[in-house]
Amino acid sequence: FDLVCDRRFLTALASSLYYLGLMLANASLGYASDVLGRRPVILLTLHLILVTGLWISFANSFLMFAILRVVMGLLSQGLQSASFVMAIELFPVHHRGLAGCVIQFVWGLGCLYLSAVAWFVQDWRIIQLALLVPTALNAISLWSVNESLRWLLAKGKTQRASETVERVAAFNKIASPLAGDDHSVLAEYKVHCEKHHSSYLALVRTPQMFRRTVCLSVVLFGVNTGYFGMTYNNAELAGDRYLNFFLGSITETVAYGAGAFVVVRFGRKRTLFACLLSGALCCLISGCIPRSGGTNDIFITIFSVMGRFSMAACFCASDAFTAELFPTIVRNMGVGVCTLVGRIGSAIAPQISALRHVAFDQLPPLIFAVTAFTGAMVILLLPETVGQRLPDTVEDVERTAADRGPSRASSQSKPKSIPDVQLAMLKSANLP
pLDDT in tens, 323-350: 888 888 888 888 888 888 888 888 787 7
Q: What CATH number did the domain enclosing 97 receive?
A: 1.20.1250.20
Range with the poorest average pLDDT among 66-80, 208-222, 363-377, 405-419: 405-419
Check residue 235 and give its pLDDT. Answer: 56
Cβ atoms within 10 A of the Cβ of 88, count?
24
Residue 430, pLDDT score: 44
Handedness of CA 354, 360, 361, 363 (dihedral sign): negative
More confident residue, 152 or 194: 152
Please give the average per-residue pLDDT across 400-410, as a whole number. 48
Phi then psi for residue 6, to 5 deg, are: -75, -5
Interval 103-121 mean pLDDT: 85
Domains in the chain, number: 1
Question: Which domain covers residue 390, as residue numbers?
Answer: 5-428
Contact between residue 237 and residue 368 where contact means Cβ atoms under 8 Å apart: no
From CA 358, how far away is CA 368, in angstroms rounded? 17
* Separation of first and last alpha carbons in the chain: 55
pLDDT at 220 over 90: yes
Which one, of 392, 384, 383, lies nearest residue 411 by Cα?
392
The distance from CA 352 to its chain's CA centroid, rounded to whole angstroms, is: 23
Q: Residue length, the chain?
A: 432
The CA distance from 168 to 171, in Å, is 5
Half-sphere exposure at residue 186, Cβ-oriented, CA atoms within 13 angstroms: 26
Phi, psi of 427 (to 5 degrees): -65, -40
**Which whole number is the average pLDDT over 376-389?**
85
- Of 168 and 217, the structure prediction assigns the larger pLDDT to 217
| C-alpha span between 4 and 200 (Å, rounded) | 44
Give 184's pLDDT tier (boundaries 50, 70, 90): low
Cα separation, 389 vs 312, whole angstroms: 26
- Mean pLDDT over residues 204-215, rounded? 88
Question: What pLDDT band is residue 425 in, cutting at 50, 70 and 90?
Answer: very low
Average pLDDT over residues 32-51: 88
The predicted pLDDT at position 281 comes to 92
Which of 353, 368, 351, 276 shows the shortest CA–CA distance to 313? 276
CB 297 within 8 A of CB 240: no
Contact 371, 225 (CB under 8 A): yes
Q: Cα dihedral sign for 124, 125, 130, 132?
A: positive
Rounded Cα distance between 167 and 165, Å, is 5
Q: What pLDDT is recorded for position 240?
A: 67
Residue 314 has pLDDT above 70, yes or no: yes
Tell me if the pTM is above 0.85.
no
pLDDT, the chain, mean: 78
CB 212 within 8 A of CB 322: no
